[in-house]
Amino acid sequence: MGYEEYKGSDWGKSLPVPSVQELVRNDPHSLPERYIQLHTDRPLDTDMAMAPSSSDIPILDFALLAKGDHDETRKLDLACKEWGFFQIINHGVAEEVLLKMKAAIAAFFELPLEEKNKYVQAGNDFQGYGQGYVASEEQKLDWCDVLFLITLPHEIRNLKYWADTIPGFKDAIERYSKEAQKVAEEICANISLLMGMDKDGLQRSYGKTKQAMRMNYYPPCSRPDLVLGINHHSDPDIITLLLQDDEIPGLQIKHKEEWILVKPIHNAIVVNVGDVMEILSNGMYKSIEHRATTNESKARLSLATFMFPYDELEMGPMECAVDEHRPRMYGNMKYLDYLRYTLGRKMEGKAHLDNTLKIKTSSS
């Protein structure tokens, strides 16, 4: 996550690191020390056929949800409480829109390095071509190159990072961005109802939102057992929609202390609850740690679309989520301060949520 307001701040600077795609292109066996994860973080099993079953990760029919189907709404409630992740089918986003979006990402990463470098992250900016946020020289690096763009609202887009030399690139994002926003809003409206409010209750709390897209390119790796495509983290947003490759698995979520693979379903969208939602719901809905692994033979592409509030939002548990059975679990904090803290402590999983906002009880 990140955005252009970080410009000029002393903490928001992401250190430049080389393109992993180029590293692999120059030497398929190269594996610099900075990418080798600590033992505790290494993927235990990169043989996807052997990964723990993902058959329990809820699959929701979005069309039923949008109609207010009772069973589907209950499923959403359980999915957000027990998994923090689910996949949606029948989401109404045309296959053509998904295919064009995926093709646009593929086309971007296929550009020669010097072309991609025209869109490289500038100075303290998070947008553009580069890597995920790199806070220190010691930090372990992801086996991943990224193009990060703010996509909504229109007026805050920074078009200098949009690869307009690729035919259809802008149009693909334009169309998918609009559809993704509709889907994200519909899910939030349903969560609002589940929390006992009207459809707009949550929206009134988080206010205006921005949308950003993180386009991930995970090159193949000669030792997928030693690296991570993206290290474990939770998303510091309200809700995330993830498009993953139909054929190449990689996304894993932490469920009951185990890493579980989210098996790709053709044309489905993976949805996850973000930190902001967890806080607003007073911990009822969970923002779950997740990560991506790599493989030896094929590059994997994915697209995370984040919906997040404006900097000024003063966030804390909503009144309807606090009662004698569920005492207030988080203090209030400005979204920008939260983000600052989160990014500064990058790569410590979800520890930031516990350290910044969680109200300490005597037993913890």
Token pair recorded at residue 244: 């993953």
Supply the minimum distance, in Å, between the C-beta of residue 66 and ligand OGA: 25
Supply the minimum distance, in Å, between the C-beta of residue 185 and Ni ion: 20
Residue number with the smallest Cβ distance to Ni ion: 235
Q: Which is nearer to ligand OGA, 105 or 242 (CB)?
A: 242
* Three-state secondary-structure class, residue 65: helix
Name the binder of 352 from Ni ion, ligand OGA, none, CB < 5-8 A by kind: none
The number of CA neighbours under 13 Å toward the Cβ of 5 is 12
Supply the minimum distance, in Å, between the C-beta of residue 239 and ligand OGA: 12
Asked if residue 36 lies in contact with residue 235, where contact means CB atoms within 8 angstroms, the answer is no
- Give me the amino acid identity at 62: F
Q: Which is nearer to ligand OGA, 202 or 251 (CB)?
A: 251
Name the binder of 286 from ligand OGA, Ni ion, none, CB < 5-8 A by kind: none
Q: Which is nearer to ligand OGA, 91 or 254 (CB)?
A: 254
Name the binder of 98 from ligand OGA, Ni ion, none, CB < 5-8 A by kind: none
- Contact positions vs ligand OGA (CB under 6 A): 214, 216, 230, 235, 242, 244, 250-251, 290, 292, 302, 304
- Contact positions vs Ni ion (CB under 5 A): 235
Name the binder of 277 from Ni ion, ligand OGA, none, CB < 5-8 A by kind: none
CA angle 200-343-212, nearest 5°? 45
- Give me the amino acid identity at 304: A
Supply the minimum distance, in Å, between the C-beta of residue 190 and ligand OGA: 22
Write out the E strands in the chain.
59-61, 85-89, 128-130, 145-152, 209-218, 230-233, 239-244, 251-255, 258-261, 269-273, 290-292, 300-309, 314-315, 333-334
Residues 191 and 117: their CA atoms lie apart, in Å, by 41
Name the binder of 125 from ligand OGA, Ni ion, none, CB < 5-8 A by kind: none
Supply the minimum distance, in Å, between the C-beta of residue 212 and ligand OGA: 10
Residue with tokens 């949008």: 66
